[in-house]
Structure 1
Amino acid sequence: MCDYVTGDVIVVDLTCSCLRGAFQPNNTLFTLSNVQTLYLRGNDLTGDIPSSICRMHSLENLSLADNKLGDLIPPCLGNLSKIAYLSLSFNRMQGSLLMRLLACMLRQLPKSLANCTRLEYLSLFSNDITDSFPHWLRTVPLGALQLGKNNFHGLVGPYPLALDFPHLNKLAIKMNNFAGSLPAKYFLQSNLTYIDLSSNKFEGALPILPPTLEMFFLSSNRFTGEIPLLLCNSTILVTVELSDNSLTGRIPQCLVDGSVSVLDLYLSMNSFRGPIPETLSVPNNCSFTTIDLSQNHLGGKLPRFLANCSKLETLDLSNNELQDSFPSWLEALPSLYILILRSNKFHGLVNTGGSPQPFSKLQIFDLFNNNFHGAFPTKYVASFKGMTGGDEKRGNFVYRAGDSQIFYAASVIGKGNNLTGPIPYSFGNLTNLEWLDLSLNNLSGEIPGSLADLTSLAYLNLSMNWLMGPIPKGKQFNTFKSDSFGGNPGLCGFPLPRECGEDANKPPPSTHAEEEDTEKGSWIEWRAVPMGYRCGTAFGLSAGYIMLHFRRPLWLMRMMERRIYKLQRRARRTRGR
């Protein structure tokens, strides 16, 4: 049967057509990519089902029943995503069976699966099944079980998993409603290499892991307590994902000293305390590619062993209590794409080290809300080759940090520090730069005209600085609103209401030049004291004390900055009348 509109063959029905022999791999039947229904039931077909049948991507109904087909079922049948009806009954097939039922809107788990005594792989990912954990599948020799993204609920079982599924090596039950605590030895006797229990409601202590485990995902649950030291027995563990729980204590030493071969370590959004473990015994044995320790209570200094992690691509230490100078000793890492130090207590100058091409692969550079001061290092900006399109590997890379903030393929964030001096002109060479935020600093001078040529720039925030002169025009700059430039009394031109006149390039009438030479933190003091005169002595002095003696609350800083900016503008308008 052909489609009346396109003329393509969409139905082939050769039921009981006395067909004999084996399929030929190059059979032209399998080139009919628009066929939706193929019936070959009730013939005398022999041999294997050829893998070339998987080229028929439009198949919705396939029946090869009642033939003499034997040997293996091609695994690629599981990739025919439109299949709604499949019949292979009454043949001579042998070997294991792989079944994928992805996004089929199933509401119940068919109990007939218990009769599939050769079923080794079962995936029911992304359906709408509401049921308890299927212990009744113990009769099936499953090696891999994928139940993710359904409505399974309740406990997974009070006794060890290996008693039900002795052959299981991969278990994935993420994004369900499983709850309760796991027995300490629930996984211990199993041969599991892959466990994914993320996004459920499990609670209590972490279970003991089997020594065969390679990948371990338990994020977004309610686990509490410390990471058990028995984790160190899993010497071939390469991925540990424990983010978004309520874990406490210190990070085990074995995770960094080489005794466990972890590549990807995700411990964000917990309550870990103390310093990040340092390792001295095996200083060159660092296999990390990802370290995410964000949103904890970690303190102290950065461990220097990180300088030996030549394969490290992502380092996210945001939202902790780390106190250290800028880690210029990381600049020589050849594979570092993401460095996020935001919301800590880093301090001092952002100095460069001796590397000829520092941070050459970096695409996300986030220093937000620390205590850095001094000029933004021009050498770093000139060396950010990863933001110029030269690195094809990460050209469209998007990283989601622990606080769900999306960072684009190329981002520089220096917001909320005490950075001074001009904006480096070399920012204009970062052709892939999409996110630039240098707000809430002490930057001065004009905005480099080269920034207007950055056609990839989607977000720009230069507000609350001491920039002056006309705002560049053209391309992306014509799309930015006044919020991107507010709080710079010396700026003029679109999108700000102040037009550029003869005095556009002159500094605003203030003692700004003298204030630049005052001690660190003076910019906070002169903003806080006028607030006291205008809004009440008690509030002004209290606000100034909070900002000077504690970490600057961003909401308070923003409120004060904006209020003073408005008062300054009102005063200038009054003088001009």
Structure 2
Amino acid sequence: MESVSSPKFLSTLLLFLILSFLLALASASLASQGRALLQWKASLQSQGSLESWNLDTNPCNWTGITCNITRQGRHVIREVNLAHMGLAGTLNGLNFSALSSLTSLNLTFNELHGSIPPTISALSKLTSLDLCTNNFIGTIPLQISSLTKLNSFNLSDNQISGSIPPWLSNMTRLNFLYLSQNNFSGTIPKELGRLESLLELTISTNHITGSIPPPLGNLTRLQLLYCSNNGISGSIPPELGNLVNLVYLDMGNNSL
């Protein structure tokens, strides 16, 4: 029988302890993410189709949840897709810091309301944020400007107000920016011309005024541009002739 003090036994024991620690760490991480989602569920006025969200099941098996395994062997929640789930309530009860592994958050076609919490900026790995067709109000929080990995940002069909923030230009990886059917006012910020990766831009059905900024002509990859149903005036700048990949253009019902 091998001695408990032998180098081989000690190395095996050490390996076992390390593996146990890593497994416990993985479970704790996933468990904390699950608790954050359950706390948010409890705060909702209508929990819709979230019956599978409970302490008796692995969060990776919950409705709308997709998990991945990290390089360190940890299970983490990567995607939350709760579109058309019949949810009503706010995002105030959601601890975004516990969900820092998220790359995609889809809450479309629900009855969520209130303002967008600035703490959503904790989702630093997010590449897709889709909050369309809800009842969100207020302005776009400045903190969202730190989500520089965003590829798609959809706020359409809400009640977001204020001006379209110039700092959206910080999100240089954006391919899709949808802001239609809200209460945005003010002018189209010329800074949007820095989003040279944009493929689709919609700002239709708001209260946008002023003229079309010539820097939008820098969006040479743009395939879709919807600006209809606003109060945009002036002439169409010749710089828009640079949009050689444009397939869909709608500027109807303005004062051009």
User: What is the TM-score when the length of structure 2 is the normalising length?
Assistant: 0.70
Structure 1, residues 60-89: CA drift from partner, whole Å, max 9, x if none?
xxxxxxxxxxxxxxxxxxxxxxxxxxxxxx
Question: Given the alignment, which residue of 368, 384, 392 partners 2:204?
Answer: 368
| Partner SS for 2:233 | strand
**Within the alignment, does 1:213 sit opposite 2:60 as a pair?**
yes
Question: Given the alignment, which residue of 169, 189, 195 partners 1:331?
Answer: 169
| Partner SS for 1:386 | coil
Structure 1, residues 369-393: CA drift from partner, whole Å, max 9, x if none?
00010001111x2221323xxxxxx
- In the TM superposition, residue 204 of structure 1 has moved relative to its aligned partner by 6.4
Q: List alignment gaps of at least 5 residues for structure 1.
A: 1-187, 189-201, 219-233, 388-409, 444-577
| Partner SS for 2:221 | helix
Structure 1, residues 35-66: CA drift from partner, whole Å, max 9, x if none?
xxxxxxxxxxxxxxxxxxxxxxxxxxxxxxxx
Structure 1, residues 178-216: CA drift from partner, whole Å, max 9, x if none?
xxxxxxxxxx9xxxxxxxxxxxxx946452275562995
**Does the CA contact (< 8 Å) of 1:375 and 1:419 recur in 2?**
yes
- In the TM superposition, residue 284 of structure 1 has moved relative to its aligned partner by 6.9
- In the TM superposition, residue 341 of structure 1 has moved relative to its aligned partner by 0.6
- In the TM superposition, residue 279 of structure 1 has moved relative to its aligned partner by 1.7
The structure-2 alpha-carbon separation of the partners of 1:369 and 1:255, relative to structure 1 and needing over 3 Å to count, comes to farther
CA distance in 2, matches of 1:252, 1:212: 21
Structure 1, residues 502-523: CA drift from partner, whole Å, max 9, x if none?
xxxxxxxxxxxxxxxxxxxxxx
Question: Given the alignment, which residue of 74, 79, 88 partners 1:239?
Answer: 79
The structure-2 alpha-carbon separation of the partners of 1:253 and 1:327, relative to structure 1 and needing over 3 Å to count, comes to farther
1:437 equivalent in structure 2: 250
**Does the CA contact (< 8 Å) of 2:190 and 2:213 recur in 1?**
yes
Question: Given the alignment, which residue of 382, 385, 389 partners 2:217?
Answer: 382
The structure-2 alpha-carbon separation of the partners of 1:359 and 1:279, relative to structure 1 and needing over 3 Å to count, comes to same
Aligned AA (1:265) = L
Q: List alignment gaps of at least 5 residues for structure 2.
A: 1-33, 35-47, 66-73
| Partner SS for 1:295 | coil
Structure 1, residues 215-264: CA drift from partner, whole Å, max 9, x if none?
9537xxxxxxxxxxxxxxx9821101110121011125546445442110
| Partner SS for 2:201 | strand
User: What is the TM-score when the length of structure 1 is the normalising length?
Assistant: 0.33
| Partner SS for 2:129 | strand
| Partner SS for 2:60 | coil
**Does the CA contact (< 8 Å) of 2:100 and 2:123 recur in 1?**
no
2:128 equivalent in structure 1: 290
Mapping of residues 108-147 of structure 1, within 5 Å: none
Identity %: 25
CA distance in 2, matches of 1:258, 1:335: 24
**Does the CA contact (< 8 Å) of 1:235 and 1:260 recur in 2?**
no
1:302 equivalent in structure 2: 140
What is the Cα-based RMSD across aligned positions, in Å? Answer: 2.7
CA distance in 1, matches of 2:187, 2:180: 15
Aligned residues: 201
Q: Which has the higher helix share?
A: 2
CA distance in 1, matches of 2:98, 2:201: 28
CA distance in 2, matches of 1:285, 1:271: 22
CA distance in 2, matches of 1:369, 1:329: 21
CA distance in 2, matches of 1:284, 1:246: 25
CA distance in 1, matches of 2:108, 2:169: 24
1:415 equivalent in structure 2: 228
**Does the CA contact (< 8 Å) of 1:331 and 1:359 recur in 2?**
yes
State which structure, 1 or 2, has the greater radius of gyration over its C-alpha atoms.
1
Structure 1, residues 152-196: CA drift from partner, whole Å, max 9, x if none?
xxxxxxxxxxxxxxxxxxxxxxxxxxxxxxxxxxxx9xxxxxxxx
**Does the CA contact (< 8 Å) of 2:204 and 2:227 recur in 1?**
yes
| Partner SS for 2:143 | helix
**Does the CA contact (< 8 Å) of 2:207 and 2:231 recur in 1?**
yes
**Within the alignment, does 1:266 sit opposite 2:111 as a pair?**
no
Structure 1, residues 472-515: CA drift from partner, whole Å, max 9, x if none?
xxxxxxxxxxxxxxxxxxxxxxxxxxxxxxxxxxxxxxxxxxxx
| Partner SS for 1:365 | strand
| Partner SS for 2:76 | coil
Structure 1, residues 272-322: CA drift from partner, whole Å, max 9, x if none?
011111129xx5761110011111111111122221111101011111111
